[in-house]
Amino acid sequence: MLFALAESDELGKSYVEAFRQRLQDLGWIDGRNIHIEYRWASDDPMRIREYAAELVKLKPDVIVCQSGLTLPALERATRTIPIVFTVIVDPLASGIVTSLARPGGNVTGFANSEVGTAGKLLEYSKR
């Protein structure tokens, strides 16, 4: 996992804890039947590139990244290892994926919100 947050960041810690808990609920225990490497690059572009290269050299089954700051470095580092992103606002409009149904390439993930619901959210906020 590659984060553009400091290791001490409370939000980052909550992401990791939720991720670990859900994996555990599914029977995956870090250190027992799965191994997870974490890299905390803050928002330093050089560290992000360095850590992306480090993770790719480990030849993991998948790399999870937490933001649009980390994804480009991972995309440059590998075209074969699957990359799953989170916390990206509009991956389609930003060109990260070719379609939401079929992202293409080795990159897929979860958007912060469904773009099609943006208008509805505005309607709700007016009420």
The pLDDT tens digits of the residues spanning 89-112 come to 777 777 777 777 788 889 888 766
**Total domains in the fold of the chain:** 1
Distance between CA atoms of residues 12 and 67, nearest Å? 11
Percent of the residues in the chain that have a pLDDT greater than 70, as a whole number: 87
- Domain CATH number, residue 112: 3.40.50.2300
The rounded distance, in Å, linking the Cα atoms of 23 and 46 is 30
Q: What is the CA radius of gyration of the chain?
A: 16
pTM: 0.80
For residue 56, what are the domain limits? 2-126
